[in-house]
Structures are given as C-alpha cells and as structure tokens.
Structure 1
C-alpha cells in the first residue's frame, strides 16, 4: 500500500468526523492501536469499498478496580470499532478472525500505534493456537453457506429450493436445538404437499411447547424467520448488485483459508494479502462466476485445494492446542497495571 494512500487515511482520521478519537475519555492517549479494517486492510478494496477503522484501547482504572464495564466503542457513522483491551484479549484467545487481523497489518496500515500497541503486536504468538482451525473454519463455513444459499435461491426449482431452505433452517437451528430440544416440548420440521397454491411443496412445523420462556421462544422463531425471509427475496434481486455480493463472499471464503494456513504453518497473521491479490481480485471481479450466477468448476477446484491445504496444515502445525494462559495472564496483568496507574 502506497505512502500517499496511508497519508490520506491519516488526514481522514484527523478530520472533524473522527473527533471522537481525540475527545472521548476512553480513547485519545489510551488508544494502543488503530488501523485499517476490511477490504483496505486485505488490499482487495475497489472504488465502492467502505472505510473501516479497527483498534484497541486501554481499560479505564474504574473498569479494572471499580464498578464500570467496557467492551468496545463503536461509531456507526465512520464504521469504527475500538475494543477494550480485555475484550480484545478474550477474542484473540479464540483466534477470532476479525480481531486477529488487527495484529497482522503492514506497518503503514496502522494509523495509531503506541509503545503498548507495539508490545501487543510483539506478543501475537501468545494468542495463536490450534483454536484457529475451528474459528477460521467456522467463518469460512458461514461464507460458504451464504454462497450456497444465494445460488440455490436463484437456480433451483421450487421443490428443490424448499429442501435447501429446510436444510439451511436446520443448520441455523443446530445451536438452538442443543439448548432447547426436549425442554418443555419439541419442534419438528418437514416437507409436505403445499397448502400455498403458489408452491408445489412447502415446509411445515409441528411444535409442542408448554411453559416455555417467551424470550427463548422468540429466539427460536427468529432464527427460522430470518432464513426463510432471506430466501423469499427471490424475484426481488438486483442481479448486478447481488452478483457483486456473491463474488465478495467467495473472495472472503478463500481469503479466510489463506490466513488460517499462514497461522498454522508459519505462526504468522498476514492480513494484507499482497502475494494473493491476483487470485482474490479475480474472484471479486467475477472471473469465476458463470452467466447463470453459479460458480465455475475452477472456483470449486480452488476451494477444494485450500480445504486440502488447511487440513494438512491442521495436521502438521506446531502450534499448541491452547494458549499458554500463565504467560497470557502475566502479559495482561502488566498492561492493565500500566492502565490503572495511567503510566502510558
């Protein structure tokens, strides 16, 4: 990324729109790191890309010794998210992709970096473990499911699409089922001949609950409603806009594999994908999408290759199963002592 572009971001950061960075008592000199997020951090940005800033800030003394709590600061107008240090550590310990990215930027992609921010980057290794397999894999699975759902919504016959909706709902309900199955009742989903004259078949529900908490009930139905509502957008899609979204999902799917493999093979977080940009940008441009809105055989071969490489990296990685919590706790305690004494 060129120096002039970074200077533009620094100029933007110093504009009135971002005054909260300087005036909010939790930010200002307490910010350890602030850097680019999203497409600009990966190098896959185009003219329409949003500008995201991501960062981490020291806790207030009252958070650590008193009665206040703080997880993160969000500014929706500028799409800026700044995590409290303790919240960030918890996410890093799980190898959360969105937060790992903050520690793997190029030097000129950081807009603010204090000495403590550099110390956090220098201790990246404390947070890397085999948990990355599940976390990055989970995010990749979600991206793949978005692709499959969108393609199925547009290309399958109605009766086959209904089967796909049922499968998607059941996948989405996995966590809900674990929590609620057999708890004061149960729920059964199945496909039968449609009562709706516009459909051939449709999904039916048999539900039997007694004395079921209302908030849990709304959670249960909300999960199913969101999946069905997504599918019901068929016929209302803007093909060019939606194809762009599909290509973006496909690109991020492959990028997640790339980053996970780096972590497992090299013990490194590499957010700016300089060497992979030709492949990633080709996917984003639509080079792997066919005219009917589905992806080419070449894309699925690429996906299969990265799945194979991730499996291989997972089997051979030298990373520990879990982080060394004794070392993590010493590091966190050191940073928080500085935050309490305001010696930064």
Structure 2
C-alpha cells in the first residue's frame, strides 16, 4: 500500500461472526472497510489499489483499538486474531452493484458495529437499498452452494479416510469427527440462504441476525447432515419462488451508481 490509508478510510466496521451476532469465545475479529484512494493512486498505471487485507494498518491502530476494546464481542476476540480488509470505493461499489454477498454485508452492517464512519459513508448507507436486486438469488445461493460443496467433499473425505486429512484446520476437523460434517460451513450456508430469501421477500438485508441463537446451535451440531440437506433443498425452492414475486429490480441503476461514484471521487479532491 503506497498511501496513508488511515487518512482516506471512510468506513470501518466489524464483520464476520461478530457482525452476524453469532460469535463465541474463540471467534476472531474481522474488520471490513472502505477507503477512497487518492487521485494519484487511482490514475497510476503502476501503483493502483483495489483492496488490502491482512493485519490492521498501523496508521489505524491508535484510532481503532480503543473502540474495539469497548465493544464486548470484539474485546473478547482481540485475544484470538485480528484481520482487516479495506476496499477502494470503486471496487466496493462495483461489488455491491453485482450483489456480491461480502460487499453487501459491509454496506448493510448494523450501525452498532461501525467503528469508523464519515459523512461520505453516511451518504452511501442512506442509499444502500438501491443496491439490492433480484441478483441476490444467484449470488447468495452461489456462495451457499460453495459452502455445501465443501461440506459434501469433506464428508466424503471423512467417510473414505475414517477422518479428515491432517492438513485440515484442527478445530474444524474436530467438528467433522464429532458430528460427521463441517457444522461451521453449515451455519454459513443456512445464514446465506436465509438472507437471500429475506432480501427478496422484504427488501432488507439482515446482517445482524435475529436467528443468531439457532445459527450458533447449528454450528454446535444441533442439525444432522440429513437435516441440513433437507433444509437447503426446501429453502432453495422458496428462494426461486420469492425471486419471481419480488418487488426488487432485476439490476441496479447503473447511472445512479456511476453518479454516486463520481460525487464521492469529486468530493475527495476538494476535501
């Protein structure tokens, strides 16, 4: 990264299980953010920036850590691991426009989980519903299908080898030994499918989950593998039906998104 990202960050919030309300004592802290890269970086042929991920940038530590220490779930997770992903605004808005689940979750992060906010972010957040379209059917279900495929592959591995391969994450491997499949992936799968259905039916994307207790229970093995497969099939049918009846548009208003991007970029030049 070739610029002081702390001077250009317009939003930083909690992501992952803390944002969903499903964290537990060993959950990591995931920070998700958006910045407006400076013009010289944006126009450079050699030093472009789309996203950065890994450790929390040093320039943000002093600003962010005190707030994390005051957040109950985040404070607990700091003893585990802290990771940070920050998107440039152009990459972020493009992902939102294509109904990328990870980007939309940032856009719809509950304000109680905001760590850094700015007037620019408030402007974007105020028009967040303009980015919800029926494409969530395919994007969220696509991600959920990926989770299901991993569950099935790992389960086949478990049956074939009598246990997960040694290269698997130890905690995840233990879940598979205990319950016969990866229950953490299962909880993610159920959450993604429910979020898609809710968005299509209500026009809202619920990141902070009202069903957090049940999702934690699924992660802890409350559902059998057969329960999961049966549920995935049934909600998949409901999602298809909801997409047909949904009041959401089929795609974003591209001119609106371009105008929003132009306004933000122009504002950054005179700030």
So what's the TM-score if we normalise by structure 1?
0.64
Give the alignment of 1:44-123 within 5 angstroms: 44-67=22-45, 68-76=47-55, 78-123=82-127
SS of 1:79 mapped into structure 2 = strand
Distance 2:104 2:177 in 1: 28
Question: Between Structure 1 and Structure 2, how many residues are aligned?
Answer: 241
Equivalent residue, structure 2, for 1:152: 156
What 5-or-longer segments of structure 1 have no aligned partner?
1-19, 159-230, 290-294
Q: Runs ≥4 in structure 1, deviation > 6 angstroms? A: 234-237
2:190 to 254, 257, 274: 254
Q: Report the 3-state secondary structure (helix = DSSP H, G, I; strand = E; otherwise coil) of the residue aligned with 2:238.
A: helix
Q: Distance in 1 between matches of 2:31 and 2:228?
A: 31
Give me the whole-angstrom Cα distance separating, in 2, the residues matched to 1:114 and 1:94: 24
Gaps of 5+ in 2: 57-81
8 Å Cα contact 1:154/1:234 also seen in 2: no
- Structure 1 residues 32 and 302: CA distance shift in structure 2, 3 A: same
- Name the counterpart of 2:251: 322
Q: 1:29, 1:123 → 2: CA distance? A: 24
Distance 1:118 1:153, change over 3 A: same
Q: Distance in 1 between matches of 2:128 and 2:38?
A: 23
Which of 236, 239, 242 is matched with 1:310 structurally?
Answer: 239
CA distance in 2, matches of 1:140, 1:271: 15
Aligned residue in 2 for 1:218: none
- Which one has the largest radius of gyration? 1
Instruction: Mark the CA change 1:236 to 1:47 in structure 2 (over 3 Å): closer, same or farther.
Output: closer
- Aligned partners of 2:166, 2:48: CA distance in 1, in Å? 43
Q: Which residue of 1 aligns with 2:200?
A: 264
- RMSD over aligned Cα atoms: 2.6
Q: Does 1:277 align with 2:217?
A: no
Which of 144, 155, 171 is matched with 1:140 structurally? 144
Q: 1:64 to 1:242 in 2, by over 3 A?
A: same
Deviation at 1:104, TM superposition (A): 1.5
By how many angstroms is 1:157 displaced?
Answer: 8.9
Q: CA deviation at 1:75?
A: 2.7
Deviations 1:277-318 (A, max 9, x none): 2321110111113xxxxx1x3333322332122112111112
